[in-house]
Amino acid sequence: MGPEQKHKGWNEIKTNDSWAIFKIMGEFVNGFEKMSKIGPCVSIFGSARTPTEDTYYKLSTEVAAAIVDAGYGVITGGGPGIMEAGNKGAHLAGGTSVGLNIELPFEQHNNPYIDRDKSLDFDYFFVRKVMFVKYSQGIVVMPGGFGTLDELFEAITLIQTKKIEKFPVILVGSTFWNGLLEWIKATLLERFETISAKDLDLIHVVDTSDEVISILNNFYKEYQLSPNF
């Protein structure tokens, strides 16, 4: 391939990038229009690979039902595993059940417990993540992989930098999360001082649905509940 052909190919890529802006805008507009109508919700994150017989699948269903009973809706990534458990718990409890679905080469398919009018499809992870944090009054993080950790640390970063209003970050499963929290405290906070102690104030590690609801209720006794949007 000669220089002229390479230059032509590069121009085509740049043109495609420019047109992608309109698709990105469309995803934001559609997301904002639908999500602004849902009312106060809590996002539940966790692994798509968690089987239905797993303890954390069952606990996620229980947590989601308790969240609905406390007056919130539930938002998940719309797929299988923990996401399905969250939507299932909300659905069975008669509450708002939102699914922010994304097309992936593996793992992802829409679960059947999402409210039909609250199922949104995304091509862009970054648009989807905006919807999670913008329209949530708190996040509940179950055991998961890289995607779950990405969503967790993005939320913490946005709160730390005051780009969004603070809300509770609740990690469910002390056996799973304690090692990470110990490393953060020992390495980031104490040894290298790359974070401040106050950055960890809103992070809670719990093991039961009752603890999740207690944290949400206590937080919103101090900070008046109002939708983030």
User: Is 228 within the bounds of a domain?
Assistant: no
Contact 129, 154 (CB under 8 A): yes
User: Is 148 within the bounds of a domain?
Assistant: yes
pLDDT exceeds cutoff 70 at 12: no
Question: From CA 115, how far away is CA 83, in angstroms rounded?
Answer: 14
Give the count of domains, the chain. 1
Residue range 48-102, pLDDT digits in tens: 999 999 999 999 999 999 999 999 999 999 999 999 999 999 999 999 999 999 9
User: Is 229 within the bounds of a domain?
Assistant: no
Question: From CA 197, how far away is CA 49, in angstroms rounded?
Answer: 33
Domain at 198, CATH number: 3.40.50.450
User: Is 227 within the bounds of a domain?
Assistant: no
pLDDT exceeds cutoff 70 at 166: yes
Contact 113, 90 (CB under 8 A): yes
- What single-letter amino acid sits at 26? G
pLDDT exceeds cutoff 60 at 8: no
User: Which residue range forms the structural domain that includes residue 196?
Assistant: 3-222
Dihedral sign computed on CA atoms, order 103, 132, 212, 69: negative
For residues 18 and 50, the model is more confident at 50
User: Is 146 within the bounds of a domain?
Assistant: yes
User: Is 92 within the bounds of a domain?
Assistant: yes
Average confidence score pLDDT of the chain:
92
**pTM, full prediction:** 0.92
